[in-house]
A and B are shown apart, each in its own frame.
Chain A
Amino acid sequence: MDEQALREALHVRAAQQAFDPDAVGRAVERGRARRRRRRTTLLAAVPVVALAVAGSAAAGLAWLPGDPPAARSAGPDAVARPVQLLTQATSPGLVFHARLDGTLTVTDDGCVAITPIGSAVVPVAWPPEWTVGRDDDGRAVVYDPQGRPFAHEDGPAGVGGGLVNPAAGGSAIDPADPCALGSSRVFQVADALFW
């Protein structure tokens, strides 16, 4: 098969494809739903951040980089505790091939991170479209861009990506975000790249 034959065959096959105009309306509905869900998560995060800041100030705690806060397991009181994701400002490129396996963990600040077996909690920067909520049992659930549950709090979680310094130039991660956990090494998830 030469390149010209391939080109012609592709055009023939392409011409047989039919677009469903209703897909536009469905996209608008799904987009609105995702926006609402994101807004809800964001609004829920505001009081917890304010409480965390006030609590830290009141206790006079100094939080040193490299010494992230202890994680807490889900329980009955977890339902009222909002959760939040540190998301990347832009979609990551296909440049990272590391893997982070462990347990999905929610820190005292309500930040969703991953704790590898036998290691300290690792702050995670999720791709832009990923969201978080709580299930009926009060456990945090991370959703992928398609709205599918990816992992549950205290359950197994494995992501692909790489460790980056959020303070480095060109980083898609806000180093001041509380969910960066004050660490100079954040695991940037590449899986949902352009996502």
Chain B
Amino acid sequence: MSTSPFEEWAHRAGPGLRRVAGLLCDHPADADDLVQETLVKVYLRWARISRLERPDGYVQTMLVNQHVSMRRSQSRDRRGRRWPGAPAAVDDREPAVVGRSALADALAGLGARQRAVVVLRYYCDLSDEQIADALGCSPRTVRSQASRALARLRHTATAEELG
């Protein structure tokens, strides 16, 4: 059976998206869900996205924003304002994953947007202006978020631990 252009693209871009998702999420299952949900949205808008000059970059931005949105919903659940029918919230800040790395623990201490800034800046190598565009904020906000995130990471983990 032949695959559609969307499927071809998704098989090619999926591993990269999953890597970014793995850095954004504490749990592999959350990262899988994040990629899955993003791919569904891409599928629904494929006619438009496929015409973009850099669809991968656009979808990466979708993924990051989806993550921020999902984290906000989860924190609302934790505050007791559960939506009717929503599954029970899981506190992903608990050290549920035994033996995970110092980096994972350090990243888990960051807020969703701070973590997104760290991943986009130091893994995806985006400029502060590109990150600001992706997150819908100013470059100044990006710089302050990055600065706070680094300070927090330094407090949580040393370079030796990360290595």
Contact = CB atoms under 8 A, between A and B. Distances in A.
Interface string B128-163: 000000011100000000000010011001110011
A7 B122 contact: yes
Max chain A CB contacts within 10 Å: which of B37, B61, B87, B135? B37
A72 interface: no
Nearest to A95: B136
Interface stretch (A11-19, A52-60, A170-178): A11-19
Contact of A27 (B20, B40, B65, B157): B40
A34 interface: yes
Interface in B1-52: 4, 6-7, 10-11, 14-15, 17-23, 28, 31-32, 35-37, 39-44
Contacts of B66: 194-195
Given A18-B18, A31-B40, A5 B159 contact: yes
Max chain B CB contacts within 10 Å: which of A9, A11, A93? A9
Interface stretch (A63-71, A76-84, A110-118, A141-149): A141-149
A36 to B, nearest CB: 12
A129 B62 CA distance: 13
B130 to A, nearest CB: 16
A185 interface: no
B23 A10 contact: yes
B135 A94 contact: yes
Contacts, number: 138
B153 A6 contact: yes
Nearest to A195: B69
Interface in A131-154: 144-146, 148-152
A19 B15 contact: yes
A47 interface: no
Interface string A149-181: 111100100100000000000000000000000
Max chain B CB contacts within 10 Å: which of A3, A23, A35, A149? A23
Interface in A17-59: 17-21, 23-28, 30-31, 34-35
Nearest to B43: A31
B154 to A, nearest CB: 5
Contact of A15 (B19, B28, B122, B158): B19
A144 B44 CA distance: 15
A5 B41 CA distance: 34
A152 B154 contact: no
A145 B73 CA distance: 12
B69 A10 contact: no
B54 interface: no
Given A14-B20, A27-B36, 12 more contacts: A1-B150, A1-B153, A1-B158, A6-B150, A6-B153, A19-B17, A19-B35, A20-B32, A23-B14, A27-B39, A94-B137, A193-B136
Interface of B: 4, 6-7, 10-11, 14-15, 17-23, 28, 31-32, 35-37, 39-44, 61-62, 65-66, 69, 72-73, 81, 83-87, 101, 103-104, 118-119, 122-123, 135-137, 150, 153-154, 157-159, 162-163
